Each structure stands twice: as structure tokens, then as C-alpha cells.
Chain A
Amino acid sequence: MDSIKKTTLPPTVGPQAGATDQHQLSWSRSQAVRRAASHLILATVGILFFLPFFWLISTSLKQLDQIFTLPPIWIPDPIRWQNYPESLAYFPFLLQLSNTLTITLSSVVLTLVSSSLVAYSFSRLRWPGRNILFYIMLSTMMLPYQVTMVPLFIIFRQLGWINTLLPLIVPNLFGAPFFIFLLRQFFLGLPRDLDDAAIIDGCSEWGVYRWIILPLSKPALATVALFQFLGSWNDFLGPLIYLSDPSKYTLSLGIQVFVSTVGVQWGWMMAVTTVLTVPVVVLFFFTQRTFIQGIAFSGIKA
């Protein structure tokens, strides 16, 4: 509503004819109406977008008789915290949490190192064939995951890696095209004089990478770290294919298996779903800017 006040303030003061003033006033009035309408639409859609979150938490704190009622009860009474410990006791939650953290954190570290090295080569070093390889890399992003899914399963099976966390960690050693692309675009934007000066001072390529490029690229590296964290934490198909023992499951997989066995215990199901969701939501709130800039950057520079 503040914005309406702002826009209905008298338009630009100046030596203008009365007719123009009149025109400006009606123009700014229709502008104000338009803004109010936009706010109304956005607020409605915003509430609709937020409602499922509220519904999730609310259901996770209900006892059964409050879950199965019409019209729905929004605020549980009494609040039933027990849904959380009860549902989490049904499967090896802590073990699966630690598997997930192992995969997630090591993937983040590996992909940061490997992707930034490759991006450095694709942006700051000049060598024959560089651009061709870069475009080949970009085109591999179009390759559907399903094409390599079966052979990779068979390869990892021959290595004895099935039902271990390795197939979900080790591939990050080789960089991810999307992250390489993102970092390359960022590195290209850094002033070139820095490298040249450092090289004249006797700095090696490694030195430039380690002591100049990396320290200047913290925002981009943070974006990559976040995306990878999210990717590993949220991954479902990978764990589904490679992990067969509940003690090896990640949370995503463990929770899906749990949910598929408890039928109509919606309180429990929403409780475990909340547990799976809260860490990434908290992470998001602390790192929002990095996230949204990264997403926007990837779409605009592409």
C-alpha cells in the first residue's frame, strides 16, 4: 500500500501547463491502480505458493484425528511433537543422515577443486583446441542422463562399488560441465592485467590460479558449492540405482522407502518430509543472494 502513496504524490514539479499536469495526474493514477492490482495478484499467488509449506508443518504436528477432518484444521491442537521421534525411529535416520552428509560434503569439496581447475584452463590459459573442447563440453550438457545410466551402473558394478557411496562421490572428481561453465564465465570477467603482472613477477600458472583467481572468485565458488550441496542432498535417482541396503541409503531414498511403507500415517510422513526439507531451507535463507544471483547469472550469460 506504501507504493500507492508514493506514486500518487504530485508528479514532477516544474513550469508546466495545467493540461499536462492533468494528464500526468491521471496517468499516475492509472499507474497506481495497476500497481495495486499487481500487488493483489502477487500476494494471492504468494500465499498459494506458501500454503503447502504451512500445510506440511501443520500436518507434521497433528494427531491422526485432526489430520482426517474437513474443513482442515490449520493450527494443530494439541501440538503433537511425538510424530518426529516416532517416525525417525522407524528407520536408521542418523546413519542415513551421516551418509547424506558424507556424500554431500565430499562432493562439494571435489567439485569445487576440479571444476575451478578446468574453468581456469578454459578461461585464463591460451592453448590450441581450448575453444573446441569447451564447446564439446557444453554440448554434453544436452546428453540425457539415461544414456550413460546403464553402462555406468555396469562399470561401477565391475569395480565393486555397488551399495557403496563411491558412485555418488567419485564422479565429482572430474568436474561438472554446468559448474565449469559458470566459473569460466566468472573468471573471464576478472581483469587480465592481474595474471600478466603476476607472471612477469615469476608466478606460475598454478600460482595465478591459487593466489589470484581463487581468492577473487569467492562469490562464484560459493554459488557452485551451494548448487552442488543441493544437488547431492536432493538427489534421488543416483542413490536409488546404486544403494540397496538401508544402512547405506541417503535421507532422500530412506525417507521415500519409509513413506512408501507407512500407508496413511500422514503425520509421520509429513514429519520426515519436514526433516528432509528444513536443512536446505535454512541454508537457503542464509545464502539467498548467492543463490538467486547464481541462477539468474546462469540464464543470462548462456
Chain B
Amino acid sequence: MISSMSRQERRRLGMGLLFASPWIVGFLGLTVYPVILSFYYSLHVYTTFGQPMHWVGLTNYVELLTQDDLFWLSLYNTLYMVVVGIPFHIGLSILLALLLNMNLRGVSIYRTIFYLPTIVPIVATSVLWMWVFNPEYGLVNAALSELGIHGPGWLTDPVLAKPSLILMGVWTIGGTLVIFLAGLQDIPRQLYEAAMIDGAGTLHQVRHITLPMLSGVIFFNVVTGLIGGFQIFTQAFIMTNGGPLDATLFYALYLYQNAFRYFKMPYASAMAWILFLVVIVATLIIFRSSARLVYYEGEER
């Protein structure tokens, strides 16, 4: 192929590759090679970390899927966060973005306040919210006690721990919110004006103009939320360390423990590959269902 190119074409290819070479080298060395290595590890075991490994075929996978209850529990916990948390966070972001998009005064101040928590280091967020959720003197239970309610131990109750983390996640929806706001501002005004002349009410407008026009942005946020949601780690590591009763033992946390606490790196690699497959399948499902739901500008329907 290369030989059939003219001199100029070859020069162009060379230049293109040269400028792209940082990423190409990184892609081969820090992505492709580790990914292959990870799969190779997942087919092995070792007795002591640092010692040679033995080939065991799919044993790690079989053990994970058939004998490891914590594996399934961590998958369930993670799916809970994704399935409950993402729609909740995205719905709230859209709602707030719609309010912000009403051309009110002081929008930029609200936007700053909503966005600010997203830049706070996750370690700081986690420590701060441990204090907010403190059963005795935390902000949440202090507010409840004003109402005469004796608040629960948010992070120490196995039933409440995951919802508490989702609630805390609301504090950091600012990034999603700002993206939705930009999406809303991209919707041509004429559409609303035409609808108003036709006598469409606000709910009608939201249902038939805003949401369809926003569907591409919603899709983007769902996919990024999904990929991030499956990797939820730091909050659980710092705030609950997987507890109480493994209620916040998320997939990435259990994987980390296997790799760096128990030094079962091949086992952790097998977990990583299963995670990879789960993320791919989930994304494909969303892609397929979105083909019907997502409207792209200029597209014929």
C-alpha cells in the first residue's frame, strides 16, 4: 500500500504519524499492551506476588461467577448505583437546567453555586459528607432533629448507605447541569414561539420540543454517567470502606481489594475483564435504544 503512494502522499502520512506519535506510542504501550497483559494475567494464578504464574485457563472466571458471593454482591451494589443514581441525577439536572434557562436574573450566580462542588477534590467531598451524615451532630440529622425526628445512621445502616451516597452525588451534578444548560441554549427560539402561537402549554413544550431537542445531550450524559458509575470507588473507600455489611462494596472497590490488599492480581484482572464486558453490553443497550429516541439536528424522521 505504502509503495503505491506518491512521494507527497508518503510525506503526508509521515507527518501525520509524526505529530500523532505521542498518542500512538502511548496507545500501544499504556493501553493495548496492558489490556493484552491483563487478559493474560486473568488466565493465570500465582502463589506469592512476584513469583512466576501458572496457567489455569478460565478458572478465575469460573470461580468469580460460580463461587464468589462478594463478586455478585459488588456487581449488584454497583448496578443499584447506576440504575437508581443516574436517572435521579440526570432528572434533577434537567429540572434545574430548565429553571436556569428561563432568562432569570442572577443565572450566572446560581450556575457558579451549582458547579462549584464538582471541582472539590473527591477526598474532600467524602470527608465533608462523612461529617454531614454524622448520626449525632451531622447537618442532615441536626435538621431532622429540629423537626423532632431522630435521624438514622445514614452511612452505618445497610439499607440507607447506598441511597445516602446517591444523595451525596446530587451535590456534584453541576457538570451535568452545565452541559444541559448549554444544550438548552442551543435550541432555536423559533420552535417555542411557533408552539406558543399554536397554543401549546409549558408541559407540552417541554415534552415535544425541549426533551426531543435535548435527547442527544441526555444520551451523552447517560453514557458518561454509566461509565463513571461502574467505576465508583473513592467515596466508598473513604467513607464506608465497603460497609456496612458490604452494602457499599462496589465492583471497583472489591477489585481494588483483590489486587492491592489480597494481591490476587490475576483474579482482579479477570474481574476487570468482566467489568469491561458489562460496560460494553450496557453501552450497546443504550446505543440501540437511543437510535429510536435520540433526535439529531437535520435528521429526517
Binding site for B on A (CB under 8 A): 2-3, 34-35, 38-39, 41-42, 45-46, 49-53, 55-56, 59, 67-72, 114, 117-118, 120-122, 125-130, 133, 136-137, 140-155, 171, 173-175, 177, 180, 205, 209, 230, 233-234, 236-237, 240-241, 252-253, 255-256, 259-260, 266, 269-270, 273, 276-277, 280-281, 284, 288, 291-292, 295-300, 302
Give the distance to chain A from B47, nearest Cβ to Cβ, in Å. 16
* A237 CA to B253 CA, complexed, in Å: 11
Q: A127, B171: Cβ atoms under 8 Å? A: no
Q: A299, B179: Cβ atoms under 8 Å? A: yes
Task: Find chain B residues with CB under 8 A from A41 CB.
Answer: 99
Give the distance to chain B from A228, nearest Cβ to Cβ, in Å. 13
Give the distance to chain B from A13, nearest Cβ to Cβ, in Å. 20
Task: Find chain A residues with CB under 8 A from B37 CB.
Answer: 151, 154-155
Task: Find chain A residues with CB under 8 A from B275 CB.
Answer: 144, 146-147
* A59 CA to B139 CA, complexed, in Å: 11
Instruction: Select which of A72, A175, A302 is within 8 A of B142 by beta carbon.
Output: A72
Binding site for A on B (CB under 8 A): 5, 9, 12-13, 15-20, 22-27, 29-31, 33-35, 37-38, 41, 96, 99-100, 102, 104-106, 109-117, 119-124, 127-129, 131-132, 134, 136-137, 139, 142, 145-146, 171, 175, 178-183, 186, 202, 217, 220-221, 227, 230-231, 233-234, 237-238, 252, 255-256, 259-260, 265, 268-269, 271-273, 275-276, 279-280, 283
Instruction: Select which of A2, A117, A297 is within 8 A of B19 by beta carbon.
Output: A117
Task: Find chain B residues with CB under 8 A from A53 CB.
Answer: 116-117
Q: B182, A299: Cβ atoms under 8 Å? A: yes
Closest to B178 in A: A295
Give the distance to chain B from A139, nearest Cβ to Cβ, in Å. 10
Q: A205, B123: Cβ atoms under 8 Å? A: no
Q: B179, A296: Cβ atoms under 8 Å? A: yes
Instruction: Select which of A38, A55, A133, A144 is within 8 A of B272 by beta carbon.
Output: A144
For the complex with contacts A114-B26, A144-B279, A288-B112, 16 further pairs of A-B residues with Cβ separation under 8 Å are A38-B102, A42-B96, A68-B136, A69-B137, A70-B137, A118-B19, A129-B13, A146-B268, A147-B272, A149-B259, A174-B22, A177-B23, A241-B260, A252-B122, A299-B217, A300-B182
* A196 CA to B283 CA, complexed, in Å: 41
* A137 CA to B27 CA, complexed, in Å: 8
* A177 CA to B271 CA, complexed, in Å: 24
Q: B178, A284: Cβ atoms under 8 Å? A: no
Task: Find chain B residues with CB under 8 A from A240 CB.
Answer: 237
Task: Find chain A residues with CB under 8 A from B35 CB.
Answer: 143, 147-148, 151
**What are 12 A-B pairs with beta-carbon distances under 8 A?**
A46-B114, A49-B113, A49-B114, A53-B116, A125-B12, A171-B30, A177-B23, A236-B237, A291-B119, A292-B111, A295-B175, A299-B178
Give the distance to chain B from A144, nearest Cβ to Cβ, in Å. 5
